[in-house]
Amino acid sequence: MENADGDGDVADDGPTAVLLDVLPNGRPDDDRPQSRKSPVAYALGADSFGLYELTLGDDADVSVGDRIALDGPDIGRYREVSFDDLTRNAAAEIEYAAEAIVETDEERFVDFYNEAGPITLRLHQLNLLPGIGKKLRNDLLDERKRGPFESFADVEERISGLHRPREVILERIVEEIREDDLKYRTFVGRED
């Protein structure tokens, strides 16, 4: 994925985000004259999947899908927002941005299958994933005792009945982003 400079490298020392929507003329609900509006963008944080509204510099050359440093030179300031604050275009891009984050850092999400633990005596983190009931959870727990999963392909190969383990994680991430009132959060709001 490219950064705002288009060279493909994003600094590793600060928080990064994937752009969901870019409004070069500012927010439509901003009643100030155009000359006083700053370009705005919406982004999905790569670490915590937080949603952000960014004030862009006037000369920022960024596009939807770019991965940018939140503390980088193109960003004037940023603030966390809720799903309801997003533009329709930004909301429609969430799945693609989450997919890009998961693909870029597959090991982090495969490790969820390796490290997920119990939440309560009756509920396990694995059960929060769509389609994972008691049998698949127990199969995952038994299989990871034999050795850690190395990739999503490894999870799929070793766990009969768990098809598309990457998509299962993505579905949960998107649900956590969109739903403010979930009791348990596994991916959204957690810093690594």
Length of the chain equals 192
Say what the pTM is.
Answer: 0.85
Query: DSSP character for 39?
Result: P
pLDDT tens per residue, range 111-166: 999 999 999 988 999 999 999 999 999 999 999 999 999 999 999 999 999 989 99
Q: Count of H helices and E strands in the chain?
A: 5, 5
For residues 160 and 139, the answer to whether their CB atoms sit within 8 Å is: yes
Distance, CA of 175 to CA of 179 (rounded, Å):
6
For residues 78 and 53, the answer to whether their CB atoms sit within 8 Å is: yes
Distance, CA of 86 to CA of 93 (rounded, Å):
10
